[in-house]
């Protein structure tokens, strides 16, 4: 099977695509994968060491843009479609999978015009604009949250869960790495300035209240790494701070508690690994999907939700200390999170893609 996977711009779109690509290469004889990504630095950083090639497609989104930017994106669309057509002509895929982001549109449209089987994966509880439009064209739609199929043609929808990378699956359900109590703070692959700010305030309060052996691992994004590192230093809290951790699954394996956003891919990895969470949904996410993502885990007892505009650093500090001191509560949250995980999501998607390919699947 020759599979073309398109999507990117954030880790939330890249990592599910990578998980499916890895599963194809591991489980389908004589298979090949080509990944179509955006021009963003994040895409190249994440994809450069993977066991499959990737190409960059120039394209632009329109949601949340000014009128002038939207016009520019629309004018660019024919060139993007032509570039996607040429990529497909060279690679000759048997199936094309879109995993989210504006870069998915041109390859899926080009494949549809050439009658190549197409499918999409929707990570979030509320589908984005691109996937809602593409859902009318593709053969199959894979969803990650119960209820999101209501926004697509029902006959095309299949619940698979959100694919997670091999490294995450390998660490699923295993013992925590390390003896210290470890708090992992993450704002997604691009960081989160407001979470960084709250944690800098919280650090000054926690300096005298956290248990012995308390350490922090904090992914800040490029903007705040120096100031966050200094805040922990001044508070006397041992901390490992970086703008980006390329081996995040191994970082999460050390976590006793995680503070972060409620992006679907992060939640998928955290549930598979069975980690208790304090979630601070990004308030400006499209269609408020992070809030809805978080509610799913809160209702299951796997997470606690804090609204960004209603939570101070002091309140966050108090919640972290409360959970750090309550092993029973954390274990209960971890168990409920683990029950929600879908470690076989990538396998399910690959099976569907093999079915779409028919006789071409193992040629």
CA 345 to chain CA centroid, Å, is: 14
Q: 2-164+343-360 — its CATH code?
A: 3.40.50.2000
Which residues are paired to 37 by β-bridges? Answer: 56
What is the token pair recorded at 8?
A: 């990117």
For the chain, the structural domain boundaries read: 2-164+343-360, 169-340
pLDDT at 96: 98
**Do the domains spanning 2-164+343-360 and 169-340 agree at the CATH topology level?**
yes
Query: What's the helix, strand, coil split of the chain in %, to 5?
Result: 50, 15, 35
| Both tokens assigned to 235 | 């508070």
Write down the pLDDT at residue 173.
67
Place of tokens 């029950």: 339
Categorize the per-residue pLDDT at 337 as very low, low, confident or very high, splitting at 50, 70 and 90.
Answer: very high
CA distance 296 to 153: 23
pLDDT at residue 35 is higher than 80: yes
User: What integer pLDDT is reported at residue 73 of this predicted model?
Assistant: 58
Where does residue 237 fall: left (phi above 0), alpha (psi -120 to 50 degrees), or beta otherwise?
beta
| Number of other residues whose CB lies within 10 A of the CB of residue 132 | 15
CA neighbours within 13 Å on the CB side: how many for 273?
Answer: 30
Helix (H, G, I), strand (E, B) or coil at 212: coil
Please report the pLDDT score of residue 328 as a whole number: 96
pLDDT at 176 over 60: yes
pLDDT band at 65 (very low <50, low <70, confident <90, very high): low
Average pLDDT over residues 49-58: 94
Of 335, 359, 357, 347, nearest in space to 142 by CA: 347
Helix (H) or strand (E) holding 214: strand 214-219
| pLDDT tens-digit readout, 81-117 | 999 999 999 999 999 999 988 899 999 999 999 999 9
Buried b (16+ CB within 10 A) or exposed e, 78-90: eebbebbbebbee
What are residue 303's phi and psi, to 5 degrees? -150, 160
Q: Rounded to an integer, what distance in angstroms lies between the CA atom of residue 255 and that of residue 275? A: 7
Return all residues near 346 (Cβ < 8 A) that are at least 6 apart.
16, 19, 20, 22, 23, 163, 164
Give CA–CA dist 299/209, Å, rounded: 29
State the pLDDT at residue 159: 95
Cross-strand partners of 279: 260, 305
247: number of CA atoms within 13 Å, CB side? 5
Angstrom distance (rounded) from CA 188 to CA 108:
26
Q: The domain 169-340 is classified under which CATH number: 3.40.1390.10, 3.30.200.20, 3.40.50.2000, 3.40.605.10? A: 3.40.50.2000
Q: CA 160 to CA 151: how far, in whole Å?
A: 16
């Amino acid at each position: 099977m020759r599979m073309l996977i398109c999507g990117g711009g954030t880790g939330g779109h890249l990592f599910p695509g990578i998980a499916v690509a890895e599963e194809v290469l591991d489980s389908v004889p004589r298979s090949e994968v080509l990944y179509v990504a955006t021009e963003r630095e994040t895409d190249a950083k994440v994809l450069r060491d993977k066991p499959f090639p990737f190409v960059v497609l120039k394209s632009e989104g329109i949601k949340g843009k000014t009128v002038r930017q939207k016009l520019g994106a629309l004018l660019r669309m024919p060139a993007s479609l032509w570039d996607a057509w040429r990529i497909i002509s060279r690679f000759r895929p048997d199936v094309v999978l879109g995993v989210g982001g504006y870069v998915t549109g041109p390859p899926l449209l080009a494949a549809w015009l050439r009658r190549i089987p197409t499918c999409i994966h929707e990570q979030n509880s509320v589908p984005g604009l691109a996937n809602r439009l593409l859902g009318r064209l593709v053969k199959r739609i894979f969803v990650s949250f119960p209820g999101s199929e209501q926004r697509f043609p029902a006959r095309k929808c299949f619940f698979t869960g959100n694919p997670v990378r091999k490294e995450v699956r390998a660490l699923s359900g295993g013992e925590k790495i390390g003896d210290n109590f470890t708090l992992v703070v993450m704002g997604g692959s691009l960081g989160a300035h407001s979470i960084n700010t709250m944690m800098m305030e919280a650090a000054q309060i926690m300096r005298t209240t956290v248990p012995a052996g308390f350490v922090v691992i904090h992914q800040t994004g490029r903007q705040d790494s120096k100031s966050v590192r200094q805040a922990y230093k001044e508070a006397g809290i041992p901390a490992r701070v970086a703008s980006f951790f390329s081996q995040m699954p191994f970082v999460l394996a050390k976590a006793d508690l995680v503070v972060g956003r409620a992006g679907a891919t992060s939640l998928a990895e955290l549930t598979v690994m069975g980690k208790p969470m304090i979630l601070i949904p990004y308030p400006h996410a499209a269609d408020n999907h992070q809030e809805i993502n978080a509610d799913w885990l809160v209702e299951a007892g796997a997470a606690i939700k804090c609204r960004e505009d209603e939570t101070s650093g002091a309140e966050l500090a108090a919640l972290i200390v409360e959970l750090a001191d309550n092993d029973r509560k954390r274990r209960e949250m971890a168990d409920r999170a683990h029950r929600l995980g879908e470690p076989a999501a990538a396998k399910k998607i690959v099976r569907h893609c093999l079915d779409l390919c028919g006789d071409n699947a193992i040629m």
